[in-house]
Structure 1
Amino acid sequence: MNIQTVAKPTLEPATGSSGVKMALLSNRMEGIARKMQNTLFRTARSGVLNTAHDFSCVVLTADCRLLATAESLPIHTLLGPDLMCEAVRRHHKTLKAGDCYIHNSPYEGNSHAADHCLIVPVVDEGGTPRFFVLAKAHQADCGNSKPTTYMGDASDVYEEGALIFSAAKIQSGYRDNQDLIRMCRARIRVSEQWWGDYLATLAAVRIGERELLTLGEEFGWDALEDYAESWFDYSEEKMVQAIKRLSTGSTTVHSGHDPFPGVPDGIPVNVTIKVDAEAARIEVDLTDNVDCQPCGLNLTEGTASTAAMIGIYNAIKDHSVPVNSGSFRRIDIKLRENCAVGIPRHPASCSVATTNLADRVSNPVQRGIAEIAPGFGMGEGGPIMPPAMGVISGKHPETGEAFVNQIFLGITGGPGTPTTDGFLTLIHTGNAGLCRQDSVEVDELHHPLFVNGRHLVADSEGPGAFRGAPAMEAEFGPIDGCEMTLIYTSDGTVNPAAGAAGGGPGALADQYKRRADGTLETLPACHAVKLSPGETVISYSCGGGGYGPPETRETARVLADVAAGLVTAERARAVYRVAITPDAAGLPMIDARATAALRAEAQP
């Protein structure tokens, strides 16, 4: 291919036409992250990647500041990639073109051991590192002692058992380090599947590298560095404007994870939020919490910081604020070492660090900001990881081949906000709805699995002026001739998603095993359940918390929910104070006079 030499565009200070150039370059950077994502999505082999979309791709500056994320999962990408790239620079003093590093250490910034990250330094022709590209991909299997990527009952990292790489060089000169490849192939249960996912992730970072080298050739590296600084400054100013719209104040919000193996009383969480609107700063203090616990729920430094920041970005109600290291400047997160929601010490297990306890940090932050600044914040999203989001494993009865994969068959959880009802397919605050619910047909094609059904559950929403999302029920099990293991780590069977600003809590999670004779067996919240042909699991996800007093909900919205089967007429009357009666055709309608009387009674 012949490449024409063109004059390099220049960037001026961030005024006048340079603002347009900054916007164009920002779109180019986001476009590079999207190209990386599209590559990984279209070429990965595991369902958790090519169906559920549980991966993220980002661009960072050479000094490890987050620059572009596209549609990456928040829990993957706020304050983790910078720590991981710093680990690369700390362990490898010289970075060369053709290098690639595999990193999944929870003790050096990663989310949990199941998220394999490939990190490539983008090095110019003179040998100077200019950027980093990072792709994080959740694995179908990561070598844990059990066939799951979520070891909630692991007392420490040794019992967890995953392969953990600390910025290990997996490519030099664009050639694989076969020692590391053999380690993964030998330890991971579905080694061919892992190999395909590794190649997909590698292709993503190499495409990011190629595109950045092209961009550097087009604009010049100095111009791109000037752009990055201007973009960070602009992003900080947007965050300043967003925080100044809030009220000044502070509050401490208490939350807590359900009882679990290793923590029979659960894990209490205390989150102190301080908003200084005049100085345009938000502080979240997580230091007043318990030490690391003998279970897999402990957060990493990356996920603890990121979880708090997710709550902030959800709460400020301004989606024009770029999520990058510039807007991060206005946020202070206080953590302490050896804390369950802080900085873990080896050998604490962080196997479930992206989901359960992380949400018990994000949700109190967004609920606390609702207390400080009325009209902002959110209710709590539904706690996470019911059986319908578990990991299935076994051997296919036709081929005898092993299978391991996480499924996403039925999770809702969206919280009510000051202006909207809960997002039905949020899944949880950490992925912000960017992971996808599985197609039943695709799951049944890929695995020896049969889905009996899934549907929304009436009267399970967190009531409010804007309600939380209703819960979802899903029932599934193995096909004839197949034995299957399902491992899950469900939170929210005891502590529901709380509402905000007068909103109510969402429904609790629950789970049952339906035996072959049709009888039901209640299952614990964290469990490895064996399923034989004819047996199924029934999974109930949590409903999201509501926002605002339910008796102030617009009556037309209540009627629509009743018509859709999400709320019964009885609940509409008792909770929302709306009287619903059938019309001549038997369809629901509002009894305006009775509703007025009900709402008058509800007035203080």
Structure 2
Amino acid sequence: MSGATSTMDPALLAVLANRFDAIVREMTNTLLRTGRSTVMSVARDFSCAIVTADDQLLSSAEALPVHVFGTHLQTAAMRRMHPDFAEGDAFLDNDPYIGNTHHADHTILVPVFIDGEHVFTAAAKAHQADTGNSIPSTYHPLAKDIYEEGALCFSMTQIQRDHTDIDDVIRMCRRRIRVPDQWYGDYLAMLGAARIAERRLKEAAARYGVDTLRQFVGEWLDYSERRMRAAIAKLPAATVEGEGAHDPFGPLTEGVPVKIKVTVDPAAETIEVDLRDNIDCVPAGINQSEACAINNAITGVLNVVGSGVPVNSGTFRRIGVQLRENCVVGIPLHPTCCSMATTNLADRIINITQHAFSELGDGYGLAQGGAVTGAGFSVVAGQDPRTGGGYINQLIVGTNGGPATPRTDGWVTYNAPCGAGLVYRDSIELNELKYPVMFRYLRIATDSGGAGRRRGAVSTTVEFGPREAPMTAAFNIDGHERPARGARGGGDGSVGVAYLIGTDGTRTRTEPMAQLELRPGERLYGEHGGGGGYGPPIEREPDRVLHDYLEGYISRAAAEDVYGVVFTGDPGDDTLAVDEEATRARRAAR
């Protein structure tokens, strides 16, 4: 920790901070424009970052929190496992036991040398369409261990030497990954992003001098720490506890309880999140990796107190995350399966942490965000009659509703807590062009957001199926029993559900975690989860309630019965308005 103020010219500090962010944004743009799979090139389920030579996250721009907050664990593993790495090297890592998130996230790490010395590491992490799992999905909720999961595990494996691919690794991927050309295209996109960062960092060093960059790193991280200290100092001293649970599925008939204790110490200007009082790892794919447990606890804190605070290791100095080994939300031991570490329990940790802060009083904390990785997030696979070849890809066409805050309504295109609204929703049209799938609709789900003074965002419903040939669809619904909770009197969001629609139109509810084979004419229908509301609904401004009704976010019945707002007139002829006198009377009666 450093309490010293900056000695660098503030203008130069700001210029360099934006220079590093610009490099990460260029990495991001490269991945978005050159990725082969739609999960990368459309949905943007990837993240880029720059880490210092001593393993401190320096810049991540718009990276997904679930991906990058623990990147220092990966760079530390790179230095530990390859102490003689050199310029021109690149490493492929997806090992959840040494610092990666889960097997589906391939990370390319490129050590950046300036004047012969390692100064930075460029990291590009991307969720893959396929990683060689034993089932055609990057998620395997029922896998008892990594052997049943079946994914290829690259434990900080060197993939380039002297800027040249190591063909042994490439061949291994081509043999085990279902659509190898798609994977190789995504690999080249990740590698290209990391190499662009390498070039840009060298250019920055040539422009400003490496000593100036080193000074910037120290002062920027110290500045970020001071900003976080100031934010924490404004909070009341308290220890709050939050509880929740993953819904039951498969062999886990009681679900998985989650307990979180948050200690706010404004005098010491620290926040500690303790996850140790939880059950041991379970024989299923939902265990957290160490990186994910850290990432998601920090995300829950920053969602509450991080507004305007730079996201880097300087800020993280003020947040302690307590974990234990062999804990379902802690540090897994090999061969524990962490196939779904970036979803499900990850979302529960974020939600419970940010919701716990609401116990500090009105104006603190957040409601919980919708977290249903349901039908709209399916991994679809099969044979494409148009090409005669196979395909596999994760859809991200649905979205869950964002949580309400003390000041704002939830974000409609939130996606899920672990994505923080930064994962884009797929283009239905592009998916139909690239894969043999047909969508009937994607719609807003009226009344799915939790009611409140500030309303939780609505979720979506989706219906789709194969065009001409059978197609598998795998999805993993948490939130089918325990929805996103409201805060300070706000209502809960909607639950998630999926139905198989037969060729005759019959609807059969599926298991929450399922892999279905859809035949031509059959369709999969899914409802996602709405966000929780914040504050009592009858405190919501009547004109906002009118707007919500006109937008289709709430029904007229909800406006009257839940929010206590009475309308007069007809929306069909633009005469609909709030009956202010009747509304005051209805609300007063409550």
Quickly name the TM-score band, shorter chain normalised.
Answer: over 0.9
Contact 1:262-1:293 at 8 Å conserved across structures: no
Q: Deviations over 1:153-172 (max 9, x none)?
A: 11111100000111111111
Determine the C-alpha separation between the residues in 1 that align with 2:188 and 2:228. Answer: 38
Structure 1 counterpart of 2:29, from 35, 38, 58: 38
**Who is 2:478 aligned against?**
491
Contact 1:14-1:22 at 8 Å conserved across structures: no
- Change over 3 Å in CA distance of 1:559–1:395 after alignment to 2: same
Determine the C-alpha separation between the residues in 1 that align with 2:181 and 2:456. Answer: 41
Determine the C-alpha separation between the residues in 1 that align with 2:494 and 2:419. Answer: 21
> Per-residue deviation at 1:109?
1.1
> Per-residue deviation at 1:204?
0.5
Q: Deviations over 1:148-206 (max 9, x none)?
A: 01111111111000001111111111111111111101000000111111111110111
**Who is 1:231 aligned against?**
220
> Per-residue deviation at 1:583?
4.2
**Who is 1:277 aligned against?**
266
**Who is 1:581 aligned against?**
568
Structure 1 counterpart of 2:103, from 113, 121, 126: 113
- Structure 2: which amino acid aligns with 1:41? L
Determine the C-alpha separation between the residues in 1 that align with 2:324 and 2:91. Answer: 28
> Per-residue deviation at 1:250?
1.3
Contact 1:486-1:529 at 8 Å conserved across structures: yes
> Per-residue deviation at 1:556?
0.8
The alignment partner of 1:288 has SS state of coil
Contact 1:383-1:497 at 8 Å conserved across structures: yes
- Give RMSD over aligned pairs: 1.3
- Structure 1: which amino acid aligns with 2:153? I
- Structure 2: which amino acid aligns with 1:554? E
- Structure 1: which amino acid aligns with 2:300? G
> Per-residue deviation at 1:15?
4.7
> Per-residue deviation at 1:587?
4.4
- Structure 2: which amino acid aligns with 1:122? V
Determine the C-alpha separation between the residues in 1 that align with 2:322 and 2:344. Answer: 20
In the alignment, structure 1 residue 82 sits paired with structure 2 residue 69: no
In the alignment, structure 1 residue 505 sits paired with structure 2 residue 471: no
> Per-residue deviation at 1:346?
0.8
- Change over 3 Å in CA distance of 1:581–1:399 after alignment to 2: same
Stretch of structure 1 that moved more, 428-437 or 215-224: 215-224
Contact 2:371-2:400 at 8 Å conserved across structures: no
**Who is 1:517 aligned against?**
504
**Who is 1:379 aligned against?**
367
- Structure 2: which amino acid aligns with 1:59? I
Contact 1:562-1:588 at 8 Å conserved across structures: no
> Per-residue deviation at 1:16?
7.2
In the alignment, structure 1 residue 165 sits paired with structure 2 residue 160: no
In the alignment, structure 1 residue 266 sits paired with structure 2 residue 266: no
Q: Deviations over 1:509-544 (max 9, x none)?
A: 111011000010101110001101111011100000
**Who is 2:206 aligned against?**
217
**Who is 2:438 aligned against?**
450
> Per-residue deviation at 1:586?
6.4
**Aligned residues between the structures:** 586
Structure 1 counterpart of 2:183, from 190, 194, 211: 194
> Per-residue deviation at 1:241?
1.2
> Per-residue deviation at 1:374?
2.9
TM-score (normalizing by structure 2): 0.98
**Who is 2:87 aligned against?**
97
- Change over 3 Å in CA distance of 1:298–1:315 after alignment to 2: same
Contact 1:286-1:341 at 8 Å conserved across structures: yes
In the alignment, structure 1 residue 347 sits paired with structure 2 residue 335: yes
- Structure 2: which amino acid aligns with 1:353? A
The alignment partner of 1:106 has SS state of coil
Contact 2:225-2:314 at 8 Å conserved across structures: yes
> Per-residue deviation at 1:412?
2.6
Determine the C-alpha separation between the residues in 1 that align with 2:8 and 2:339. Answer: 48
Determine the C-alpha separation between the residues in 2 that align with 1:16 and 1:189. Answer: 54
The alignment partner of 2:381 has SS state of strand
Structure 2, unaligned stretches of length 5 or more?
Answer: none
- Structure 1: which amino acid aligns with 2:46? F
Structure 2 counterpart of 1:550, from 537, 541, 556: 537
**Who is 1:9 aligned against?**
none
Determine the C-alpha separation between the residues in 2 that align with 1:576 and 1:68. Answer: 43
Determine the C-alpha separation between the residues in 2 that align with 1:411 and 1:336. Answer: 33
Identity %: 45
